Amino acid sequence: MLTEFEHYLATQANLPNEAIRKISTLAMPRILRRNEFIFRAGEICRHKIFIVNGLLRTFNTTTAGNEHILQFSPELTWTLDVESYDRQIPSYVSIAAVEPSNILLWHKSTFNTLLTEIPAFKKLAEQLISRNIYHSRQRMLTILSGTPEEKYADFIRNYPGFLSRLPLRMIAAYLGISIKTLTRIRHTQLQR
Amino acid sequence: MLTEFEHYLATQANLPNEAIRKISTLAMPRILRRNEFIFRAGEICRHKIFIVNGLLRTFNTTTAGNEHILQFSPELTWTLDVESYDRQIPSYVSIAAVEPSNILLWHKSTFNTLLTEIPAFKKLAEQLISRNIYHSRQRMLTILSGTPEEKYADFIRNYPGFLSRLPLRMIAAYLGISIKTLTRIRHTQLQR
DNA sequence: GTTAAACAAGGTCATTTGACCATCATTCTA
DNA sequence: TAGAATGATGGTCAAATGACCTTGTTTAAC
């Protein structure tokens, strides 16, 4: 589990071996079963999370019980709720495993130490934030602009691998459309 | 124009007077007329932009001619297209003035110098990025979750002052609903 | 291996939404 | 000040969408 992470780090940033060792030594490994939560809405996000393998989802549940998915996080990516983590306030989203997953956790204080001690790691962290911002923007446009067909097509294009790993209802919850609409789209596409 | 900006800086960050002077000396003031563009989709975003007064919008126009608004930027806020600015690649959005506006511009190289020379300014910049991220998240949920009524209600709650400054069609373009739907909502609300 | 749960998909129907068009009011411009 | 442009709203109608229910299948859990 740690070797996968170390390999990821080595390919992503120009880090001395010693630094890589240190970062991974301080990680807390954890195994998640399907549907197991890392934290629930109302709790505070206390860790940075790296997904070694598996798939997580970040979502919000309305009082009416509807689920809206903000983000999927597959293997070799990071996740957390930024606002809750930064300010240590209760989160309004939950993060849970879609598939059985292996993850690594760092406590905020630990992670901050690493950031100050290892400049190249700080740089990597900043790059990840940037990518996240670009990505959110793009997603906002997609949600705003499209007909359901276009949203679905965008999803397939951007995340071709996810289709087979996710129940359709989660894709619908991600796209902001009803599952009925989604199956209708798929139905008409099959006929072509 | 510069004094307003200097006042803003003084209240937002713990900056020595000398630093404030320096930052504002390097700003390029510019006056925008209604509907005047700062840059258009396809061009590169070369500046950080501070709105002294007025109101800008960041938007995207589809090939079908539909406009989708990502963001409104009122007085005493910053704006730019992050991805285009960071990577100096063509932007897929445009930024234009909704009202006659006074703005300040800094070239990327100038701004970077300021960031490295003035740590407290760098800190402010990071705070602004964070807030932006929180804000995007929140907006994503709103767009995903709501009925048009809820989206409109959220808009009124979050930006009470904007309603009177914006044409309704822009509010519709921001919420991702048709103007017909928006007027219908307003109509039924009037009757209650 | 059996039972239970989760899931995809289809049917039906009421409601919502958007496209298109016309009208009236307001604002800007020459 | 007249004329043009912009903007808000309403009418009408067709299409899209979601809620609810049922069925058949796949997947997970014990």
Q: Is A83:A89 a contact under the CB 8 Å cutoff?
A: yes
The verdict on a CB contact (< 8 Å) between B136 and A137 is yes
Could you state, in order of their start, the residue ranges of all structural domains in chain B?
2-118
Asked if the Cβ of residue B180 lies within 7 A of any atom of strand C, the reply is yes
What homologous superfamily is domain A2-117 in, according to CATH? Jelly Rolls (2.60.120.10)
Query: Is B167 (CB) below 7 Å from strand D?
Result: yes
What are the C-alpha distances in Å from A95 to residues A122, A169, B135? 24, 17, 19
Task: Residue A60: list chain B partners with CB under 8 A.
Answer: 141, 145
Q: How far is it, in rounded angstroms, from Cα A97 to Cα B179?
A: 39
Disruptive mutation site among B123, B137, B177 for chain A (greatest number of A CBs within 10 Å)? B137
**Residue from B81, B28, B122 nearest A138 by CA:** B81
User: Rounded to the nearest 5°, which phi and psi values hold at B133?
Assistant: -65, -45
Rounded to whole angstroms, how far apart are CA atoms A57 and A99? 10
Residue nearest to nucleotide C16 (CA to C1'): B181
Helix (H, G, I), strand (E, B) or coil at B28: strand
Closest partner CB to A140 (pick from B132, B133, B136): B136
One pLDDT digit (tens) per residue for chain A, 192 residues: 668 899 999 999 989 999 999 999 999 999 999 999 999 999 999 999 999 999 999 999 988 888 999 999 999 999 999 999 999 999 999 999 999 999 999 999 999 999 999 999 999 999 999 999 999 999 999 898 778 999 999 999 999 999 999 999 999 999 999 999 999 999 998 766
**CB of B35 within 7 Å of some strand C atom:** no
B169: Cβ under 7 Å from strand D? yes
Nearest residue to B15 via CA among B136, B101, B118: B118
Q: How many helices (H) and strands (E) would you count in chain B?
A: 8, 8
Polymer length in residues for chain A: 192
How far in angstroms lies nucleotide D28's C1' from the CA of residue A66?
Answer: 24
Q: What is the pLDDT of residue B2?
A: 67
Q: Are B59 and B91 in contact (CB under 8 A)?
A: no
**Mean of pLDDT values over B139-167:** 91
Angle, helices A148-158/A119-145, rounded to nearest 10 degrees: 150
pLDDT given for residue B75 in this prediction: 94
Domain B2-118, CATH 2.60.120.10 — does that match? Answer: yes
Q: Which of A86, A134, A139 sits opposite B130 (nearest CB)?
A: A86
Q: What integer pLDDT is reported at residue A149 of this predicted model?
A: 92
Of B82, B143, B145, the CB nearest to A144: B143
Output the distance from A150 CA to C18 C1' rounded to whole Å.
17
Q: How far is the CA of A34 from the C1' of D23 (A)?
A: 27
Mean pLDDT of chain B: 93
Q: Is the CB of A67 under 7 A from strand D?
A: no
Report pLDDT for B189: 84
On chain C, which bases lie within 7 A of the protein's CB atoms? 6-12, 16-20
Q: Which nucleotide is nearest to B183 (CA to C1')?
A: D9
Q: A16-34 burial, b for 16+ CB within 10 Å, e for fewer? A: eeebbebbbeebeebebee
Determine if strand C comes within 7 Å of the CB of A125: no
- DSSP H/E element including B106: strand B101-107
pLDDT single digits (tens) B26-60? 999 999 999 999 999 999 999 999 999 999 999 99
Percentage of chain B beyond pLDDT 70 is: 98
pLDDT exceeds cutoff 90 at B62: no
Q: How far is the CA of A19 from the C1' of C23 (A)?
A: 71
Per-residue pLDDT of B80-129, as tens digits, reads 999 999 999 999 999 999 999 999 999 999 999 999 999 999 999 999 99
